[in-house]
Chains A and B, each alone.
Chain A
Amino acid sequence: MSEKPLRDELRAAFEAMTRPAHPALSSQIRERLQASSPRRSFPLRLVAVAAIVLVFAVTAGVLVSDRLLGGTGRPAGVPTTPTLATPAPTSPPTAGPTPAPSGAPVVVTSPGAAGFTCATETGGGSGRAQVVGVRAAAQAGYDRFVIEFNGPVPQYEVLSQPNATFIQDASGQAVQLEGSSGVLVIVRNSSAYGTYAGPSDLHPRSAVLHEARQVGDFEGVVKWGLGLSQPACHRVSVLSGPSRLVVDVQA
């Protein structure tokens, strides 16, 4: 069979299988664009600049306080905001799709730090890695949420928020999770598509962490929203063997 008949056959088949876009679609999109477009460019930019300045100030303050307290040097590629070593985990907290190797996990967060923070935490390396597992479970004194990767933990950001409403990427639709408060976990240079086939909505039924739902996997950014029963601070750890981003929520 030559290419032309195949092309012609496929063209005819697709022509029969699909319809032209309805004229109303164009007007609906125009209305949505007009509704969502220009109004608040300056305030949003101002808010973004203020947020960056705030993060910078907090980071600088932490670095200064570390130095004043005689803290040890921080290894490259680890979080730059206050993070802490987790209490020596020996295995993933719940059964996950990828079993952990037998070797003891290596904690690579900043040494000596302890406690929870309500500030935004950032860190991770500059490389790319795919999500291969997600778990959530209750621990003594805290609830734990874990994202496992097939490589070193990429750049991440963990933010507290005063509600359990998140914005779904890329639709922009609001998603209400169980609970009244929330934590947003953003991982850049990553994706879960094709590497993580587990549930995208977890209900650990633990004391504070009531729900964890994937609210984004788009253009290399993976987002998970955590629905909390009450406002709670968090702490972030990066573990290796296997590579994991661990978010503990204070119970």
Chain B
Amino acid sequence: MIRTVSGDPPADGLAAESAGFETHLEAVLDPAYRLATVILRDGAAAEDAVQEAAVKAWRKRSQLRGGPLSFKPWFLSIVVNECRMARRSRWFDVLRMAEPPSDLASPEEAAVAGHDLRTAILRLGASDRAALLCFFYLDLSLEEVGRVLGLSPSAARSRIYRAARRLRPGLAIEEVIRS
């Protein structure tokens, strides 16, 4: 079996590199978990995806370009890929079908305002949900959203706009995305 062999640093520098990596990772675990949850709609599957993404990111750390500021979109892009792999697996579909329709909200939360919007969000495609979360909740730039989803900035802008219009028909793009 051919596996990618990343350039491991000398052992004496590895501990420091590992500590630095974990520091960066710690800072993005929360957004990563929320992103995976929105895509997979399953908390346990989201945890698995983030764990696998972390291991993958460690192995691929030499491919990170652009310094520490790039770590967040880079890692989130790996999380998105992990989620895609999980969604593509046959067992995931079986498991999803077995679950009752849910918007992840508790009964108490369902009673408060915004329930309709959450239901509408859950009716969107996984990529649309991810785009909206990245842009509106994680406050990523269009370039970063594009990097996370594997799109160009203009394609990310269109994706966000189209998704927002499905939630609120009649919105102008300037109302959604103001440069």
Contact = CB atoms under 8 A, between A and B. Distances in A.
**Are chains A and B native binding partners rather than an unrelated pairing?**
yes
Interface of A: 1-3, 6-7, 9-22, 25-26, 28-30, 32-34, 36-38, 41, 44-45, 47-48, 51, 157, 159, 161, 165-172, 184, 186, 193, 200-201, 217-219
Q: Which of A12, A13, A16, A168 has the most CB of B within 10 A?
A: A13
A41 B53 CA distance: 20
B99 interface: no
B78 A170 contact: yes
Contacts of B18: 33-34, 37-38
Contacts of B176: 3, 6
B55 interface: yes
A17 B38 contact: yes
Q: Which of B25, B38, B114, B178 has the most CB of A within 10 A?
A: B114
A29 B136 contact: no
Task: Determine the main DSSP class of B at the interface with A.
Answer: helix
Q: Which of B5, B50, B59, B132 has the most CB of A within 10 A?
A: B5
B5 A44 contact: yes
Contacts of B104: 17-18
A148 B43 CA distance: 36
A40 to B, nearest CB: 9
Given A18-B38, A21-B32, A170 B54 contact: no
A1 B22 contact: no
B3 interface: yes
Contacts of A48: 5
Interface of B: 1-3, 5, 8-9, 11, 14, 18, 21-22, 25-26, 29-30, 32-34, 37-38, 43, 47, 50-56, 58-60, 78, 81-82, 84-85, 88, 90, 103-105, 109, 112, 114, 117-118, 121-122, 132-133, 136-137, 164, 167-168, 171, 175-178
A170 B47 contact: no
B3 A25 contact: no
Given A9-B114, A26-B29, A37-B14, A170 B82 contact: yes
Given A30-B22, A41-B8, A11 B136 contact: yes
A169 B3 CA distance: 10
A6 B52 contact: no
B118 A17 contact: yes
Contact of A29 (B25, B103, B168, B171): B25
Which 3 A-B residue pairs are closest in the complex by CB-CB distance? A41-B8, A21-B33, A18-B34
9 contacts: A3-B176, A6-B171, A6-B175, A13-B114, A21-B34, A29-B25, A157-B2, A172-B52, A218-B85
A11 B105 CA distance: 15
A177 to B, nearest CB: 12
Contacts of A217: 85, 88
A22 B47 contact: yes
A213 B166 CA distance: 37
Contact of A13 (B14, B33, B117): B117
B171 A20 contact: no
Contact of A6 (B5, B26, B30, B168): B168
B52 A21 contact: no
A249 B30 CA distance: 47
B51 A25 contact: yes
